[in-house]
Amino acid sequence: MTQHARVWLITGASRGLGRAFAEAALAAGDRVVAAARNTAPLAELAEKYPDQLVPLSLDVADRQAVFDGVGRAVSAFGRLDVVVNNAGGMLYGMVEEATEEQIRAHMDVNFFGALWVTQAVLPHLRAQGGGRLLQVTSMGTGGGMATVGFYGAGKSALDSVSEALAREVEGFGIKVTVVQMGGYNTGLFTAGTTATEPLAQYQPVRTEMEAMWGDAVSPEPETAAPVIMELAALPDPPRRVIVGSQSFDHVMEMGRARTELYRSWESLSRLAPG
């Protein structure tokens, strides 16, 4: 470990992208506070890096627990240099199908959980004169997609708040980057998914979406880790970045399609003076 080892706080660190980011940081000689609701999967990693890794049991949906947990994270190594807001889940199903309980539970983790972590770490980052905050959102925040609309909604809300936050805290030396992830083999659609009770009327839409997704194999999470390590090292990181070559192309195409849509209805837009 080098004298200048950074200290990371990574939420959702027990599997998927969070686990890959933690492993990359540890391999680089950095120290990591790895937060997750279930820290048991981190036992092997903690044994391998006993002086660098501190598992932290944390439910990000519990605001008070988040503030208490961040306090413990700061105490573990004395500071925080890089905070990765990665914890999240998937609510799979049509908008009409989802129950209030499912929707609120989903947003409690994907949006409010990330917001609580953000609010909890800011005083510490400000007091120490700076730090990095990486807000993991999605390449799909530019528009909703059938069956995963609530996932997109939560990530879009975090995307928007983080853009505002970046402007608010830059004077304190805090750098905020919205990390728009592409599709990776994280287990999000299995272990991390809550499904709605299907309504028969929507079966044609489900069939269409399943055919569109097909049997494509997603890249492994560790292939995204170099982007995160580079972002943490950049002296002046971007405020947003798309992670994934194919995802970059797809987002660019979505942007062109949206621009064409707006242009096609420009005359309607210009009927109003505002």
Query: Which residues carry out catalysis?
Result: 151
The one-letter code for the residue type at 186 is T
The total of other beta-carbon atoms located within 10 Å of residue 268's CB is 8
Phi, psi of 216 (to 5 degrees): -60, 140
Structure tokens at 116: 């609580």
Instruction: Name every residue whose Cβ is closer than 8 Å to that of residue 260 and which is 6 or more positions away in sequence.
Output: none
Name residue 103's amino acid.
I
Of 116, 111, 118, give the one whose Cα is nearest residue 158: 111
Task: Name residue 200's amino acid.
Answer: A
Rounded CA-CA distance 34/48 in Å is 14
Question: By the 8 A CB rule, do 183 and 218 touch?
Answer: yes
